Amino acid sequence: MTTRVMLISPAAGEAQREVRFDDDGPLTAAGARRCRAAAGALPAADRIAVSPSVRCRRTAEELGLVAAPAPGPAGCAMGRWRGRTLAEVAAAEPEAVSAWLTDPGFAGHGGESLREFCGRIEGWLARAGAEPGRVLAVVEPDVVRAAALTALRVPADAFWRLDVPPLTVTELSGRGGRWNLGLGRTLGAAGGGAGPGENSQTPTSTHKDDISAE
């Protein structure tokens, strides 16, 4: 039997507007409105998972989703950089930021390396794929990226080549650890593109070239 995993990226949060390593801040007012506009557009699911961050939980609530007691996968742990803006970290630790962008094994911030993070998400997908049916998961954009790398069987070095806008759906379907990948589409009634400011990105939701240009 086939498993379908629909990964929903959260609506824009305050941390995204500030280009901040996510400090678990709330959704923007515009982001919450887009969620409510898209409520009811999702198919029925056998299982629902939600990342533990505030913006993922609020996105799920505004979409009318009731998550299972066990949380979905968290975003990449950023250690001492959590809550700081990219500009602050780049000014204080330029060599560390450069290493983070170029070395998937870098964990000098005290959190997870991208390679460790991608391995964690690969494990979560394996567990999700062990049962047939449809899974709806509201997860951080970096979780979507890592899941896409798993589906394509490409190394963590490609992490920065993927972009995940707010309130988009990326679908994985398969069985036995082999996944087909449906690239992100705008969620339901939120179609027509993001509103003003909605595509501002967190550091883990931006292309490497964009970060290097900061």
Per-residue pLDDT, 19 = 79
Instruction: Kindly report the pTM of this predicted structure.
Output: 0.86
Per-residue pLDDT, 203 = 57
Contacting residues for 209 by C-beta, under 8 A, at least 6 apart: 160
Residue 66 CB-density burial (10 A; 0-12 exposed, 13-18 middle, 19+ buried): exposed
Per-residue pLDDT, 211 = 47
pLDDT tens sequence for the chain (214 residues): 789 999 999 998 877 767 788 777 789 899 999 999 998 888 889 999 999 999 999 999 999 998 777 788 999 999 999 989 999 999 999 999 999 999 999 999 999 999 999 999 999 999 998 889 999 999 999 999 999 999 999 999 999 999 999 999 999 998 777 899 998 788 864 333 343 334 434 455 444 444 433 3
Per-residue pLDDT, 204 = 53
Per-residue pLDDT, 175 = 79
Per-residue pLDDT, 213 = 31
Per-residue pLDDT, 48 = 94
Alpha helices for the chain (secondary structure H): 14-17, 29-38, 54-62, 86-92, 94-102, 114-128, 141-152, 208-212
| DSSP β-ladder status, 168-175 and 3-8 | antiparallel
- The CA-to-CA distance between both ends of the chain, in Å, stands at 46
Per-residue pLDDT, 188 = 66
Per-residue pLDDT, 190 = 38
d(CA 135, CA 2): 11
